[in-house]
Amino acid sequence: MPLTMVSEGTKAILKSIDGGHQMRGRLAALGLLPGTELEVIQNSGHGPFVVSVRGSRIVIGRGMAQRMEVDE
């Protein structure tokens, strides 16, 4: 399921990123690689999407989050 479907306060495992080399590289630089556990901090249905990865909070765009596949 896409990351945008995960509720606030829920942990998930990033499975894949449906994007080009540049997008995957940018997310990798932020620590978002397949197999990484993350927790959704903010998912209000609009606006920025906030996740916690290894103790750091990361803000990503909703379009980018839509292209990230996760398992809860």
**In the block, residue with structure tokens 């399921």:** 1
Q: How far apart are CA 25 and CA 46, in angstroms?
A: 25
Question: Which pLDDT belongs to residue 47?
Answer: 83
Residue 4's SS3 state is helix
Q: How far apart are CA 17 and CA 70, in angstroms?
A: 9
Task: Using alpha carbons only, give the angle 26, 27, 33 rounded to the nearest 5 degrees.
Answer: 135
Question: Which pLDDT belongs to residue 68?
Answer: 96
Question: Which pLDDT belongs to residue 24?
Answer: 94
Q: Where are the domains of the chain?
A: 3-71
Question: Which pLDDT belongs to residue 46?
Answer: 83
pLDDT tens sequence for the chain (72 residues):
999 999 999 999 999 999 999 999 999 999 999 999 999 999 988 888 999 999 999 999 999 999 999 998
The third-level CATH classification (topology) of the domain covering 3-71 is SH3 type barrels. (2.30.30)
